[in-house]
Chain A
């Protein structure tokens, strides 16, 4: 191939991917920003230009968006500080090569394959304040549970939503980390062992630093997944007017189909900014650690 034809060839090969990238990712973001500046009473009608009013309105008590953001951030924090350590613990345990490794791997991963709606309905029965497993078990153990049930009490509702989330996704994060752990060179482990390191020290000083890029990806997935959470919460929240369950996605869907497309687009833009923001923050945090380590 001559030098003259090379740029055109590159463009020709990149163009389909570029079109897909712009059409599926970039353009919808631009469109959402544009829509968020109008009222958009219907999909076809942009309505009145209102500038940033949709954004300021969102934080009034009418929309409860502040509450929704707070709920999403609580879910994200619980995911990072409870779900991921649990997943890491399981991955480290299985990564050591225990007996029945494959079996446990399948068992922990199985909930990921079940539909969130099925999981939601299953856990709704488990939480039922009259005949639910949790209620009956608490009664048997003389532990007090709120008479409204865990889902009906505003103080425990979000936690009740988070437990099935852990149950569902811990296997997913465990599998990512497990794959990373299996990729750690056995020589490194053996060398550490020869130097007298315990299992815990091997994990802390050898395995975990090696799988840091995977942990970073898991953290980003956990945070963005929590900020975007919808399906499981929708099953519990039903008509989504109960404040305990409000998350940005529920409000987005509601306003998109209730003659307030501008508000829905503003929520979408804020969610995009938050997801990108957290992804950049996590990347930066891990980068800083690397630099510090190098010093």
Chain B
């Protein structure tokens, strides 16, 4: 119950601190309002909502499904067999089959990178879109909204205002209208294999940057590779580079750059990139990761090849499911590099995983109701599994949440500011040169100055 209260109150409140804003209507999310005020505002309905949620669930089917006529809805998502969220999707869909017996959901899970191409193709064409689709928030969904392909969820989400805080909708709100049902939220975190750290003489996770560097030196001296990073998937490189830039220049400055309010022509960014490359040069990164996919690098971390793995907190589920590995692993945030510009609690992440409804759906209204209920259930089961923190106010027994997710909840509870993942915050046009430049940085084809020069020219 304590955990539930902590998460329901603090997460919802903390998200109002989010610096991310997608459309003009998302401006409230940019305010760094006093946490206490915001938290208090959210805290009030929380206990009531906790009680009300299960009851609302029971009532929902009878109310929402006006007709018993069989309806088939289609859905695309990325919860493939190997995805951390797979179990949550399966559970949620099984529940939905009971709640909506007249609705048949035909769902298809596509691998992450392939999905981005598939959904972009379908959106560009406008035909053959599923009724419900998974999307990332902010610019990724924003591009589709701009194309007029997404159904507005204002009416639907109004019914869930007690369970889904408005602060969680900022990243899916464009021109004041809601277009997405958030499921879970995640941040980038640093996972550490404490057994390997112990071999290098460390009994705790480094708390500041100097300690981190010392720890890495000790690990290298002990013949242990500190970090694993999948160069084969550039988003994994951003999971290292973005926290390093954020902890060097501060969340406000990075957010301004991601949202186009400032250019990349910032010497502090160049310095941060150089810091990242110095870490590569010192042999802190597993060279084998250069061409490997993320699954292999994660498996290497779990197998004890690398001491640290920095990636999204959705990985808590997989780490927690491995009984042998769980006791060895701890999670923390990347330490501050320049304390005059950044501080602990400035995080990369936020509510991004979202369900949306295609404007072309023949049953758009029903699909919207279905997506909202399904999103709530995916959030519920995903949270229980450790796939992320809940965007919806949690309900039911959450006492068995794995310790890693609990640690993440504590990190988020102390959050100062969030900057959404760069490739989600940026439009499709800006994302490509950004990821190109990140890949070049990891491949040592660009240094810090080259990085800012290239992006200052490419992204306007």
Contacts and interface: CB of A to CB of B under 8 A. Distances in A.
Interface string A232-272: 00001011011110000000011101111100000000000
Given A44-B126, A130-B288, A152-B288, A258 B432 contact: yes
Nearest to A154: B443
A62 B443 contact: no
B435 A148 contact: no
A253 B113 CA distance: 13
Nearest to B459: A62
B443 A242 contact: yes
A243 B231 contact: no
A244 B126 contact: no
A258 B457 contact: no
Contacts of B120: 257-258
B291 A152 contact: yes
Interface string B415-444: 000000000000111011101101110010
A241 B435 contact: yes
B288 A238 contact: no
B117 A61 contact: no
B113 A243 contact: no
B288 to A, nearest CB: 4
Contacts of B457: 60-62
Contact of B291 (A149, A257, A258): A149
Interface in B242-300: 287-293, 296, 300
Interface stretch (B173-181, B190-198, B232-240): B232-240
Q: Could you tell me the dominant secondary structure of chain B's interface residues?
A: helix
Contacts of B458: 60-62
Contact of A239 (B288, B290, B435, B440): B435
Contacts, number: 101
Contact of A259 (B143, B291, B438): B143
A122 B235 CA distance: 24
A129 B439 contact: no
A149 to B, nearest CB: 6
Contact of A42 (B147, B287, B291, B436): B147
A61 B457 CA distance: 9
A92 interface: no
Interface in B396-431: 427-429, 431
Contact of A243 (B235, B431, B440): B440
Contacts of A220: none
A239 B234 contact: yes
Nearest to A130: B288
A115 interface: no
A129 B117 CA distance: 29
A64 B113 CA distance: 21
A7 interface: no
Nearest to B294: A238
A147 interface: yes
A254 B432 contact: yes
A154 B231 contact: no
Interface residues of A, number: 35
A257 B124 contact: yes
Contact of B436 (A64, A151, A236, A244): A64
A242 B234 contact: yes
B155 to A, nearest CB: 27
A157 B290 CA distance: 11
Given A239-B113, A259-B143, A259-B429, A148 B445 contact: no
Q: How large is the interface on B (under 10, 10 to 19, 20 to 34, 35 or more residues)?
A: 35 or more
Contacts of A43: 124-126
A154 B440 CA distance: 10
A153 interface: yes
Interface string B101-117: 00000000000010001
B40 to A, nearest CB: 42
A188 to B, nearest CB: 50
Interface string A139-175: 0000000111101111001000000000000000000
Nearest to B112: A239
Contacts of B432: 241, 254-255, 258
A148 B291 contact: yes
B454 interface: yes
A154 B291 CA distance: 10
B121 interface: yes
B443 A61 contact: no
B239 to A, nearest CB: 14
A259 B288 CA distance: 34
Contacts of A239: 113, 232-235, 435
Nearest to A236: B291
Contact of A241 (B117, B293, B296, B436): B436
B415 to A, nearest CB: 29
A42 B124 contact: yes
Contacts of B113: 238-239
Contact of B121 (A61, A128, A257): A257
A258 B433 contact: no
A217 B147 CA distance: 45
A130 B443 contact: no
A253 B117 contact: yes
Nearest to B445: A243
B428 A258 contact: yes
Contacts of A152: 231, 287-292
Interface string B303-343: 00100000000000000000000000000000000000000
Residue in A64, A147, A153, A238 whose Cβ sees the most chain B Cβ within 10 Å: A238
A271 B322 CA distance: 49
Interface string B22-59: 00000000000000000000000000000000000000
A261 B125 CA distance: 12
Contacts of A157: 291
A136 to B, nearest CB: 13
A129 B291 contact: yes
A238 B117 contact: no
Nearest to B236: A239
Interface of A: 42-44, 60-62, 64, 127-130, 146-149, 151-154, 157, 236, 238-239, 241-244, 253-255, 257-261
22 contacts: A42-B147, A43-B126, A61-B458, A62-B433, A127-B291, A128-B292, A129-B291, A147-B287, A148-B288, A149-B290, A152-B288, A152-B289, A152-B291, A238-B232, A239-B232, A241-B438, A243-B436, A243-B439, A243-B443, A253-B117, A258-B432, A259-B124
Sorted nearest first, the 4 A-B pairs with minimum C-beta distance are: A152-B290, A152-B291, A147-B287, A148-B290
Given A43-B125, A243-B436, 17 more contacts: A43-B126, A61-B457, A62-B436, A62-B454, A62-B458, A129-B287, A129-B290, A129-B292, A130-B300, A153-B290, A238-B233, A239-B435, A242-B234, A254-B432, A257-B120, A259-B143, A260-B429
